[in-house]
């Protein structure tokens, strides 16, 4: 964590709980703002994957199989 982030975190920790919650909510809200570059990169990735699928370079996997795989690896 940067020095600035450390200082902000320490300051926030001194706030009353209700104000800390407000700060957290504002930070989370700021993360929900769209990032044009990130959106463009994801669109390019999706297009590349679809093109590879259409060329037969990659295969589709049924959603039920994906869910089963991750449910199996999540059980301890």
**DSSP tag of 66:** H
pTM higher than 0.75 for the full model? no
- Please, which residues have CB within 8 angstroms of residue 12's CB and are 6 or more apart in sequence? 20, 23
Domain boundaries defined on the chain: 1-33, 36-74
pLDDT digits (tens, 9 = 90+) for 29-70: 988 888 899 999 999 999 999 999 999 999 999 999 999 998
The per-residue pLDDT for range 8-23, each reduced to its tens digit, is: 999 999 999 999 999 9
Q: Alpha helix locations (H) across the chain?
A: 3-13, 17-31, 36-54, 63-74
Q: With the C-alpha atoms ordered 38, 41, 46, 67, is the resulting torsion angle positive or negative?
A: negative
Q: Average pLDDT of the chain?
A: 92
């Amino acid at each position: 964590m940067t020095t600035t982030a450390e200082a902000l975190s320490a300051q926030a920790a001194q706030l009353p709980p209700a104000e800390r919650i407000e700060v957290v909510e504002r930070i989370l809200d700021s993360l929900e703002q769209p990032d044009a570059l990130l959106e463009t990169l994801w669109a390019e990735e999706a297009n590349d994957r679809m093109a590879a699928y259409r060329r037969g370079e990659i295969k589709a996997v049924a959603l039920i199989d994906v869910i089963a795989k991750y449910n199996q690896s999540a059980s301890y």
